[in-house]
Amino acid sequence: MSSLWAWWVPLAWLVALLAMIQIMPDGEDIFRQIAPDNRSVIYRRDDFLTLVANHMAIVGVASLVAITAGVGAAVVVTRSWGRDFLPLVAQLASMGQTFPPVAVLALSVPMLGFGTEPTIMALVLYGLLPIVRNTLVGLQGIDADVLEAARGMGMSAIQILWQVELPLAFKVIVAGIRTSVTINIATAAIGSTIGAKTLGDPIIAGIINGNTAYILQGAILIALLALCVDSSFERFSRLL
């Protein structure tokens, strides 16, 4: 019971998100106060629950790719045979976040078309830096005496990586993943500009039609989703 109680913050944000999805379509009177001059104040082109599910699916796939690539690259450049590539990997990861996601979308649409695929590509590039950086910090921060002791016990390089290095660096790596995923939950909204179904849909529709109520509905759901995921990562980090 105590372990479940420790998760009350992420559960509270999840309940708030689900409650908002449920009651928002019936909030005509509330949102009419925000946009009194608009004919429609509730975004009804798509179901909010569907938009949340699509949004999280896109972020989930992009995060999985970014974690695999980011952690894998960091592991490679911290091996003796891969250290020459460390500056290159660090620079590429930094470029991925400094390069505007909108520009990535514009460049990838001619190759991948409109919709989900270019959005995932933009999120992968944008989410790599915190994962690569934290993985490098975690692996490089392990005491050399610990690694020497592991070698003295007869452990192979693979055993040392899986049984010593990654477990010791795991908390730092998770912190980088947490930052990456939380940032991408907000960034994924730009995918709506090229046809991806995300929570950016009501925001884009609101901007085009000058409808503040639409913008607020998308923004509230994105914020609640980000808070739910971020607090879940925070709770998971504490358990570590």
Predicted confidence (pLDDT) per residue in 181-193, tens digit: 999 999 999 999 8
pTM of structure: 0.88
Between 240 and 170, whose confidence is greater?
A: 170
In a domain, 28, yes or no: no
- pLDDT at residue 1 above 70? no
Q: How many domains does the chain have?
A: 1
In a domain, 77, yes or no: yes
Taking the CA atoms of 203, 206, 210 and 213 in sequence, report the sign of the dihedral they define: negative
In a domain, 29, yes or no: no
Domain extent for 133: 50-239
pLDDT score of 164: 92
In a domain, 58, yes or no: yes
In a domain, 17, yes or no: no
Q: What is the Cα–Cα distance from 128 to 130, expressed in whole angstroms?
A: 6
pLDDT in tens, 79-111: 888 888 888 888 877 776 677 777 777 777 778
In a domain, 175, yes or no: yes
The domain that holds 215 is classified in CATH as: 1.10.3720.10
DSSP states along 26-57: G-HHHHHHH-TT-S--S--SS-HHHHHHHHHH
Residues in the chain: 240
Buried b (16+ CB within 10 A) or exposed e, 89-113: bbeebeebbeeebeebbeebbeebe
Contact 169, 140 (CB under 8 A): no
Which range is least confidently modeled, 54-63, 150-159, 215-224? 150-159
Q: What is the Cα–Cα distance from 209 to 31, expressed in whole angstroms?
A: 15
In a domain, 15, yes or no: no
Between 220 and 111, whose confidence is greater?
A: 220
In a domain, 38, yes or no: no
Angle between helical axes of 48-77 and 8-23 (0-180°, round to 10): 140
